C-alpha cells in the first residue's frame, strides 16, 4: 500500500510539474514527495496508537523538507506538493487525490475548537501559493484558490475564489461576480465623507467670493 501511494505521488508530480524530467529525479529530489512519503509512515503509526513515534517522524520530515503535516491528516495518494516550503496541514485536514498544493499554503484551524476543525479539500483542486484555508470547511472538487486568498467558508465544486476574505469569481469557467467587498470599507466611507465636505466648503467659498464682488 505504501509503495502504491508513493507511485501515485510520483506520477502526480510528473503530471503537474512541467519541469520534471523523469520519475527518478522526482523520487530523489522532490521535497513534496519526500514529505508525503514520510507522512504516510507517520500516519500508519498514528493510527495504531504509536503517536509519539508518529510525531517524531512528522517533525523529522518537517526539518528535512520545510513541510509540516500532522500525522493524523488524511491525504489520498496522487497529491502533489510543489516546492512546498512553509506548507502546513492540520490534524483533521483531508486532501483528495489530484490536488496541487503550492508553497506557504495553510490548511489550518480558526481557534481552539475540538473535533473536526480543519478543511476538507476535494479532488483535483489547486491551492495557490500563500493561500490560507481555515476551519471546518469544504473545498469542492476541481476548485481553485487564488494566491494569498484567505478562505473562511465552503467553496463550491469547480469554483475559483480570490481575495481576503475569499469570494467566488468564477464557477465552472464562467465569471460570477465583480471583486466588490462584502462589507463596507470604513476607510473608503471616511474618504467619501471628506470629499463631500470639501465640495460643500468649495461651494461656500465660491458663494462668499461672488457676494463680496457684488458688494464691491
Q: How far apart are CA 93 and CA 76, in angstroms?
A: 11
pLDDT given at position 170 = 87
Q: Residue 196 has what DSSP assignment?
A: H
In three-state form (DSSP H/G/I as H, E/B as E, the rest C), the secondary structure along 42-87 is HHHHHHCCCHHHHHHHHHHHHHHHCCEECCCCEECCCCEECCCCCC
As given in the structure block, the three cell numbers for residue 121 are 479539500
Give the dihedral sign, CA 163/134/58/8. negative
Given a contact cutoff of 8 angstroms between Cβ atoms, the answer to whether 36 and 87 are in contact is no
**Would you write out the chain's pLDDT as a tens digit for each of its 216 residues?**
788 999 999 999 999 999 889 999 999 999 999 999 999 999 999 999 999 999 999 999 999 999 999 999 999 999 999 988 999 999 999 999 999 999 999 999 987 778 899 999 999 999 999 999 999 999 999 999 999 999 999 999 999 999 989 999 988 877 775 444 555 667 777 887 888 888 888 888 888 887 766 554
Instruction: Report helix, strand or coil for 114.
Output: coil
R_g of the chain, CA atoms, integer Å: 25
pLDDT of the residue at 180 = 47
Strand segments, DSSP code E, in 77-158 are: 80-81, 88-89, 94-95, 100-101, 106-108, 120-121, 126-127, 132-134, 138-139, 144-145, 150-151
Q: What are the residue ranges spanned by the domains of the chain?
A: 2-175, 184-216
Q: Please give the Cα distance from 86 to 176 (Å, whole number).
A: 32
pLDDT for the residue numbered 188: 74
Three-class secondary structure of residue 4 per DSSP? helix
Task: Determine the pLDDT at residue 213.
Answer: 60
pLDDT for 96 equals 95
pLDDT of residue 86: 94
SS3 108: strand
pTM above the 0.85 mark? no
Among the four given CATH numbers 3.40.50.300, 2.160.10.10, 3.50.50.60, 3.40.190.10, the one describing domain 2-175: 2.160.10.10
Amino acid at each position: 500500500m505504501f509503495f502504491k501511494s508513493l507511485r501515485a505521488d510520483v506520477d502526480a508530480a510528473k503530471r503537474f510539474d512541467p519541469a520534471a524530467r523523469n520519475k527518478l529525479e522526482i523520487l530523489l529530489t522532490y521535497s513534496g514527495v519526500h514529505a508525503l512519503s514520510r507522512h504516510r509512515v507517520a500516519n500508519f503509526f498514528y493510527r495504531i496508537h504509536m503517536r509519539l513515534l508518529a510525531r517524531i517522524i512528522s517533525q523529522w520530515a518537517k526539518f528535512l523538507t520545510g513541510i509540516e503535516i500532522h500525522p493524523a491528516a488524511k491525504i489520498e495518494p496522487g497529491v502533489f506538493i510543489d516546492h512546498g516550503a512553509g506548507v502546513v496541514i492540520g490534524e483533521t485536514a483531508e486532501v483528495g487525490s489530484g490536488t496541487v498544493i503550492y508553497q506557504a499554503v495553510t490548511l489550518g484551524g480558526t481557534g481552539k475548537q475540538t473535533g473536526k476543525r480543519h478543511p476538507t479539500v476535494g479532488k483535483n483542486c489547486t491551492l495557490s501559493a500563500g493561500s490560507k484555508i481555515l476551519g471546518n470547511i469544504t473545498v469542492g472538487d476541481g476548485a481553485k484558490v487564488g494566491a494569498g486568498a484567505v478562505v473562511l467558508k465552503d467553496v463550491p465544486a469547480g469554483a475559483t475564489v480570490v481575495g481576503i476574505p475569499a469570494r467566488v469569481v468564477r464557477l465552472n469557467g464562467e465569471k460570477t461576480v465583480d471583486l466588490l467587498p462584502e462589507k463596507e470599507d470604513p476607510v473608503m466611507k471616511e474618504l467619501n465623507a471628506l470629499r463631500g465636505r470639501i465640495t460643500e466648503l468649495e461651494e461656500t467659498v465660491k458663494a462668499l467670493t461672488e457676494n463680496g464682488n457684488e458688494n464691491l
